[in-house]
Amino acid sequence: MEKKSRNNYVFYVFLAVSIVIAIIAEVFGFKGSALAAANIAHAKAAMPPVPSSSGTAIAHQLSIIAKEVKPAKPFFVSTVGKWIAPIMYLGAFALLANGVMHLDPKREKANEVGVGIITLIVGIMWWPFLIAMSVVQGLGPLTNFVVGLAGMYAFFFIALGTTQALKIPSKKQLGAVAILIGWLTGVYAYFFLTAPAPGGGTWVYHFTIAGVWFIAMNLAGLFMMGALKNEKLLGWVVTFAALYTFAIPAVLWSMPPGKQGPF
């Protein structure tokens, strides 16, 4: 009875956290777009005046403006960028395999070794893409920031898949790592909430993705360390994360320019 009460307590704590995250997103979600608009207005105000009598000066400034507003080749249509959607689909596969396994606590139909092999393969396949993206700096100044986040999860997939496939008893240690990654993802969530997107607007959808991962990784860590006994709860959260944080973004990334939603 005491264990059941503790599990319920953990569930309600994380439910409350998710509700708070949703409220924060609604209240402060437009902060980024307002800040982006202010930056654009400031840039326009800082432009030097154009002498109306000087055709040469006007032509010169128009050429500068043309260079600034010339659309760059979207990263997702570049050689490296085309791999974003497939890589995210792979992440969805690994998560879904783990989520379905945790929905079967008695392992009557799930095989942890098989799930481990899937997870390990996905983690390994992520690294060539992450290294290539770091080399070409495909996301500009945000490249290392994003690669750092994805790299943490690639490492975790490899470590988790290895322990599952080889049946290595290191869940407590890996659980501590999962919780740390969850809280580091919380820092990313704060960035997505407060920083303007490069093209204007907000990172609200990215913020919610980071929020889901904050919850999922903390639940996973608590389960591995033996503090969470409700394995099915973890299974449902991980399954939801597979769809919301990987499968849906992968579909959006696959869309043509202008139809990618928040991406």
Q: Distances from the Cα of 31 to the Cαs of 37, 38, 149, 156, in angstroms? A: 10, 11, 23, 33
- Please tell me the predicted confidence (pLDDT) of residue 178: 93
Compute the distance between CA of residue 14 and CA of residue 18 in angstroms, rounded to an integer: 6
Helix axes 143-165, 84-102, angle to 10 degrees: 40
- Which of 147, 259, 203, 242 has the alpha carbon at shortest distance from 25? 203
- The CA-based angle 157-150-211, given to 5 degrees, is 95
Question: Would you state the pLDDT for residue 60?
Answer: 59
Neighbours of 53 (CB within 10 A): 7
pLDDT at 145: 79
Whole-angstrom CA distances from 59 to 55, 180, 221 are 6, 55, 61
pTM of the model: 0.67
Q: Is residue 231 a contact partner of residue 105, using CB atoms and an 8 Å limit?
A: yes
pLDDT at 243: 92
pLDDT at position 261: 56
- pLDDT value for 128: 83
Query: Taking the CB of residue 30, how many other CB atoms lie within 10 A of it?
Result: 12
What topology does CATH give the domain 2-45+76-254?
1.25.40
Q: What is the pLDDT of residue 180?
A: 93
Give the separation between CA 156 and CA 174, rounded to whole angstroms. 8
Backbone angles phi, psi at 33, to 5 degrees: -65, -35
Q: What is the pLDDT at residue 165?
A: 92
pLDDT at 234: 94
CA 18 – CA 26 distance, rounded (Å): 13
Are residues 185 and 214 in contact, defined by beta-carbon separation less than 8 angstroms? yes
pLDDT in tens, the chain (263 residues): 455 555 455 445 544 554 444 444 444 433 433 444 444 454 455 555 545 455 566 555 555 554 544 444 454 445 555 677 788 888 899 999 999 999 999 888 888 999 999 999 999 988 888 887 778 776 677 778 788 888 999 999 999 999 999 988 877 889 999 999 999 999 888 888 887 766 666 678 888 999 999 999 999 999 999 899 899 999 999 999 999 988 888 888 777 666 555 55
